[in-house]
Amino acid sequence: MVIRPYGYRIWELLQSDLDGKIKDAGHENACFPMFIPESYLKREAEHVEGFSPELAVVTHAGGKELEEPLVVRPTSETVIGEYMAKWIDSHRDLPLLLNQWANVVRWEMRPRMFLRTTEFLWQEGHTAHVDEDDAMRETLWALDAYEKVARDLAAMPVVPGEKTPGERFAGAERTYTIEGMMRDGRALQAGTSHYLGTNFAKAFEIDYQDADGNLVLAHTTSWGMSTRMIGGVIMTHGDDKGLVLPPRLAPYQVVIVPLGRKEQAETTAAKAHEVAAQLKAAGVRVHVDDKRPQLSPGFKFNDWEMRGVPVRLELGMRDIDNGVVTLARRLPTEEGQGKETIPFDEVAARIPGILEDFQAFLLRRAEEFRDSHTRPVDSWDDFTAQISQGWALALHCGRTACEDEIKAETAATPRCIPAAGEADSGACVRCGEPSAYGKRVIFSKSY
């Protein structure tokens, strides 16, 4: 996967916001090796079992066969666990709050750009704590941070919840997720947070001396969000014309297209840059499209629509004579249905509000779509019918074997036990055994 500058800027904007949240919560960024000795992974047997089909392994380097194969980093629990054990001696060393921005490799047989690729970018938080309570607070903090990034930046109305045992991260005691609904009704796992208990601490001897002098195993967590979020933005908001970008994640929030040829083009371009300077001073990311004279205005309008720019400003000689710019939104909203004009002296004051309205509109639209494609089901026939349209809220026994049967027949999996789900109980929609979670589980096809 090659991410061109326009797409990488989306990642930078998301990364900057999330990195600020991580640092504000007391975490520090670090850097760990990409190549992990195979023995590290084997020390946590369940972890290896969960990842083995996806591992890329280096067996030769420097012109000779290695004494021990090196695994290209699929995630860093094992290598970070090795160093946590060296760095932690006392309860005074805890909590240890680490984060890493990195690329990872998981060997995908059926790649989907931004969703499942062999190499992708992400952040991975790894922390160690004195006990389960402190580690669980960290686990749920990360989940909440991911939900805020998804809703506030990406305008994705994700549902936070816990994974069933059959869907947990390999080696975790509990796994939490945020799930978003895409425009085809499928679910996208947009971020995960794991309470690892003492599983990795046992394997890597991550222990500390408590206040009474006893040697105690630390409780660890890990959590991550990746470039999959870009795929989520594309599929949550996009349409047949191309991208639709939430203003807070748009590389260019406003593009100004000056119109006219020769002398007129020089005049409109100069005025466009004046308007752009006002917008930049107001904190708006703006671009003037005046370096492609060989292209028609219609081509440029279509090009920026395809790239998902939230607001386009058109500026011709007639606009200058009238003291206005012509504004077009990427999508019609309650606040604006078609093109409108804005006086030059009002542009800097009004555009930020228009962008915020567009951001809120995209979130509302996505929420309405999700809610209209989600419904509770109580029979197997209703379940299979609903899965073809969106999310099914169903009672579930919690057995992995039952989940496997559901997946084999419908391609649907339990996405999460929603944190805000209402209390409910009864018979499993598939096997009829008593439900296990006291509420309904979201089932859906996914990526």
CATH of the domain at 134: 3.30.930.10
Q: And the tokens for 171? A: 């080696």
In a domain, 242, yes or no: no
User: What are φ and ψ of residue 314, in 5° steps?
Assistant: -110, 140
pLDDT at 404: 97
**Do residue 440 and residue 308 come from a single domain?**
no
CATH (domain of 395): 3.30.110.30
In this prediction, residue 118 has a pLDDT band, given cuts at 50, 70 and 90, of very high
In a domain, 205, yes or no: yes
pLDDT digits (tens, 9 = 90+) for 243-259: 999 999 999 999 999 99
Domain end, chosen from 319, 354, 389, is at: 354
Residue 399, domain extent: 375-444
3 state SS for the chain: CCCCHHHHHHHHHHHHHHHHHHHHCCCEECCCCCEEEHHHHHCCHHHHHHHHHHCCEEEEECCEEEEEEEEECCCCHHHHHHHHHHHCCEHHHCCEEEEEEEEEECCCCCCECCCECCEEEEEEEEEEECCHHHHHHHHHHHHHHHHHHHHHCCCCCCEEEECCHHHCCCCCCEEEEEEEECCCCCEEEEEEEEEEECHHHHHHCCEEECCCCCEEECEEEEEEEECHHHHHHHHHHCECCECCCCHHHCCCCEEEEECCCHHHHHHHHHHHHHHHHHHHHCCCCEEECCCCCCCCHHHHHHHHHHCCCCEEEEECHHHHHHCEEEEEECCCCCCCCCCEEEEHHHHHHHHHHHHHHHHHHHHHHHHHHHHHCEEECCCHHHHHHHHCCCEEEECCCCCHHHHHHHHHHHCCEEEEEECCCCECCCECCCCCCECCCCECEEEECEC
**Do residue 212 and residue 307 come from a single domain?**
no
C-alpha pair distances (Å), 349 with each of 74, 140, 360, 403: 47, 39, 18, 54
Number of domains in the chain: 3
Domain end, chosen from 354, 384, 413, is at: 354
**Do residue 204 and residue 336 come from a single domain?**
no
In a domain, 347, yes or no: yes
Strand partners, 443: 392, 414
Distant-in-sequence, close-in-space partners of 263: CB < 8 Å, separation ≥ 6: none
pLDDT digits (tens, 9 = 90+) for 330-389: 999 887 778 999 999 999 999 999 999 999 999 999 999 999 999 999 999 999 999 999
CATH (domain of 282): 3.40.50.800
Whether the CA torsion 237, 242, 246, 248 is positive or negative: it is positive
**Do residue 389 and residue 322 come from a single domain?**
no
pLDDT digits (tens, 9 = 90+) for 54-96: 899 999 999 999 999 999 999 999 999 999 999 999 999 999 9
pLDDT at 335: 77
336 against 127, higher pLDDT: 127
Using alpha carbons, select from 269, 267, 242, 254 the residue that is nearest to residue 328: 254
**Do residue 127 and residue 12 come from a single domain?**
yes
Domain end, chosen from 320, 354, 388, is at: 354
